[in-house]
Amino acid sequence: MDGQNSKKDRAASASIMKQRRRMIENYMVIWVDSNIDMANEDCQNTLAQLRGVVNEVNQCTTAEQCIAKLQENSEETSFVISSGALGQHLVPDIHDMPKLDAIYIFCGNKQRHQEWAKNWPKIKGVHTSIKSICEKLAIAVKQCNQDQVTVSIIGVNEGGSSEDLNRLEPSFMYTQIFKEILLDMDHGQQAIKDLVTFCQEQYKGNKKERKIIDEFQRTYHPTLAIWWYTRQCFTFKMLNRALRTLDGDIIIRMGFYLCDVHRQIENLHSKQINEYHALSENHPDKATTYSDIGDVHRLMGDYEKALLFHRKALNIQENVQCNPLDCALAYINLGETYREMKDYTTALTYFQKGLEIRQKKLPKNHPDLAVV
C-alpha cells in the first residue's frame, strides 16, 4: 500500500511541476515507448540526456498518446523518439504532420528496423544508444534555432524610411515598440535575480541547463551579453521564442538582458566603424572587422547583411597578401551562411574551397579539417 501511495505521490508531484513549467523553447521532444517507467534508472538517465538537449520532453507509452500530443501542438517544432515496435505502426500516422521535424527510432535490434525505416524521409536513423540520438538531435535543434530567428534584436535599419516601416509585419512593429519601451526602463540587480529564479523553475530537473543558469547568476555582466546569446543556451532559446511568439511576460523578465545585448551591439558597431575609418581600404584588419560584423548578422538571422560583410572580407583577403587560412575561413563563413539559408549547393561550393586551402596548409590530423 505504501508503495502504491509513493508512486501516486511521485506522479502528482510530476504533474504539478509540469503545470508550473511553460514552453520556453521553440521545440519539444516526444519520447514514445511502451516500456517507459520513470522509477527505472535507465529511463531516468535517458530523460536526463534528452533534457540536456531539449528541455520539454513528453513521455508517452502508447502510439495514441503520441498522436494526441502532436495534434495538440500548433506552434513548436516537434521531434519524436520512438521504440522500433511502436514506431513501425506509429510513423505512417504522424509522418506528414507539419510541425513534426524528425523521427528517431530507438531500439535494441538495429537490423530489424532499418529496412522499413528507410521508406520514411523524416526518420533520421535507427539508433541503439541514446547518446547517438542526442548528438543528432543537437544538430537538428541548432538548425531549428537558426530557422526560427525571425526578429532581429538589433533594431530597424538606421536608414529605414517610413515607407519601409509601413511594409513591416504588425508583429515585428509591436516587437520594435516593446523593445523601445524596454530600452527606456531601469533594470537593476533584482532583475537578474528574478530571471534566474524563473529559469531555475522552468529548467527544474534539467541538470545541464541548471548548471549554466548557476554560472549565469555568478558571472553575468552586461559586457558578456552577446557571448551569452551566441552560446545558444537558455538565454538564446528563451529570448528567441519570446520574440517569435511575442510572449510579453518573458520579454519583460529578460528586459535587462535584451537591453544589454542591444547596447553591446551598438558599442561594438561604433568601435568597429572607428577602427574601419582608421585603416586603409585593403588593410587585412579591415577584413577581420567585416568578418566579425558578418558573424553577428548571421547569428541574428540577417543573412543578406551577413553575406555582404563576409564577401567584403573575402574580397580583401583575395586581393592582398594575407594568410591563406584567413581566406579559407572567409569561404567557410560564406558556406555556413548559405547552409543556414538552405542553399546547400552554394554552401557546398564555398565549403569545398575552404577545405581545399586547409588541406594544403594544415597537417592531416588538424582538428580544423574535421570541422569542415
- DSSP of 278-299: HS-TT-HHHHHHHHHHHHHHHH
What nine digits make up the cell of 34?
511502451
CB 156 within 8 A of CB 165: yes
Sequence-separated (6 or more) residues with CB below 8 Å from residue 324: 357, 360, 361
User: C-alpha distances in angstroms, 166 versus 169, 226, 369?
Assistant: 8, 30, 47
Give 275: exposed, middle or buried? Use CB within 10 Å, 0-12, 13-18, 19+. middle
Contacts of 183 (CB under 8 A, 6+ apart): 259, 262
In whole angstroms, what is the distance from residue 233 CA to residue 55 CA?
11
Written as one letter, the residue type at 86 is L
Answer whether 40's CB lies under 8 Å from 90's CB: no
C-alpha cell at 272: 568597429
176 exposure class (CB count in 10 Å sphere: 0-12, 13-18, 19+) = middle
Q: Which residue has the cell 521535424?
A: 101
Sequential pLDDT tens for the chain (372 residues): 444 444 444 444 444 344 456 788 889 999 999 999 999 999 999 999 999 999 999 999 999 999 999 998 877 899 999 999 999 999 999 999 999 999 999 998 898 999 999 999 999 999 999 999 999 999 898 877 766 654 444 443 433 333 343 443 444 444 555 566 666 666 778 999 999 999 999 999 899 999 999 999 999 999 898 888 888 899 988 988 887 788 888 988 998 998 888 788 777 767 666 665 555 555 666 777 788 888 878 877 778 888 999 888 888 877 766 677 778 888 888 998 998 888 899 999 998 988 888 888 677 665 555 555
Q: Where are the domains of the chain?
A: 27-147, 162-257, 279-371
Domain 279-371 has CATH 3.40.50.11810: no
- Assigned C-alpha cell, 117: 525505416
Same fold, 27-147 and 279-371: no
What is the Cα–Cα distance from 111 to 333, expressed in whole angstroms? Answer: 39
Q: Are 233 and 212 in contact (CB under 8 A)?
A: yes
pLDDT for residue 119: 92
Please state, in angstroms and rounded to a whole number, the distance separating the CA atoms of residues 290 and 272: 9
Return phi, psi of residue 279, to 5°: -105, 155
Amino acid symbol at 329 = L
**The CATH number of 27-147 is which of 3.40.1390.10, 3.30.565.10, 3.40.50.2300, 1.10.760.10?**
3.40.50.2300
181: helix, strand or coil: helix
Instruction: Round to whole Å and give the CA distance between 46 and 216.
Output: 26
